[in-house]
Structure 1
């Protein structure tokens, strides 16, 4: 796995609102774009240092630790 610059995971955001998590991630690591995604949505499996997926449930709550990938 490639070594990506800056913070690469945000366990403290588990249970937070997806939109709030997105803003915090992008503030703490300017190299990434955070994307809020509903659980179960199909996504590509490629690894990218500039992407953080923020998985949320139907209530918009983060259900997985956001991490670069």
Structure 2
């Protein structure tokens, strides 16, 4: 699971970044667990949450969360992981 949502005054990913990365197009096609490790290393203020096809997510905006959508093979697909 992940920590409670934190956003402060931010309403977009770049605002949340604090100088750290806020999007990871380089992880498309990687296995979800590998992408999660990279994301959490690149930005120590976020928790990457792996989402399997068909699973629902909340629609709130959180500076400390990155949804990592994976396909049936466990690889990052559908969307570029981004803070929010």
Taking structure 2 as the reference length, the TM-score comes to 0.78
* Alpha-carbon offset, residue 50 of structure 1: 0.2
Give the match for residue 22 of structure 2: 8
- Stretches of structure 1 that go unaligned for 5 or more consecutive residues are none
Distance, in Å, in 2 between the alignment partners of 1:38 and 1:28 is 22
What root-mean-square deviation, in Å, do the aligned CA atoms of Structure 1 and Structure 2 show?
0.9
Runs (4+) of structure 1 exceeding 4 A deviation are none
- Stretches of structure 2 that go unaligned for 5 or more consecutive residues are 1-10
Taking structure 1 as the reference length, the TM-score comes to 0.94
Structure with the bigger percentage of strand: 1
